[in-house]
Every structure is written in structure tokens, then in C-alpha cells.
Amino acid sequence: MQSPSTLKRHAALVDDMASLQGLDLEEQMLRGTLSFGALEDAVLRCTGCTAPDRCAQWQAAHQGTRAAPPDYCRNAPLFASLQADKP
């Protein structure tokens, strides 16, 4: 089981990665294109990543841009799917 601080950190990484792609996860949930369970799964996938510090650095370097996630992002397929469903 993950600690609350680990889950919070990875939830922030997931949200920030989505934002860098122009995705608002809260809006996606309200529209029904992202379920709460799918978001939970995304955070859990992120906790399995071996490079969270590298990810945070990547995100910091890409602030203010719309950037596709790096190759090692475990949630890249989810983000691509949400982009495809975006109106």
C-alpha cells in the first residue's frame, strides 16, 4: 500500500502532466470521458514509475508549453485517448 504522501505526489504529477497537454482532468470527469476509477488507476500507474524526480524535472522544463508526455510516461496512452475524445 502506498503512503498518503506518495499518492498525493503522484496525483500531482498526473494532473500536471495532463495540464501540459492542455487536458483538465476535472473537466474530463465532469464530461464523463474520465471516470474516478480511471483516474485512480492513472495515479497508481504513476506510483510504479521509477523516475518521478525525472518526471518532475521534465514538467518544470516544459511549463507554459503544450508538450506530449515523455516516452517513459506510464499514462501516455490515457492522455492520448483523452486528447482524441476532446471536443
Q: How confident is the model over 66-86, as pLDDT tens digits?
A: 888 999 999 999 999 999 877
User: Is the CA virtual torsion 62, 39, 2, 50 positive or negative?
Assistant: negative
Q: What is the pLDDT of residue 28?
A: 96
* Cβ pair 66, 22 in contact under 8 A: yes
The pTM for the full model equals: 0.93
Residue 81 pLDDT: 95
What is the percent of the chain with per-residue pLDDT over 90, rounded to a whole number?
86
Question: Residue 16, SS3?
Answer: helix
Residue of higher predicted confidence among 65 and 11: 11
Nearest to 42 by CA among 71, 73, 19, 21: 73
| Rounded CA Rg of the chain | 12
Tell me the percentage of the chain whose pLDDT exceeds 70.
Answer: 99
Angle between helix 36-47 and helix 4-19 axes, rounded to 10 deg: 110
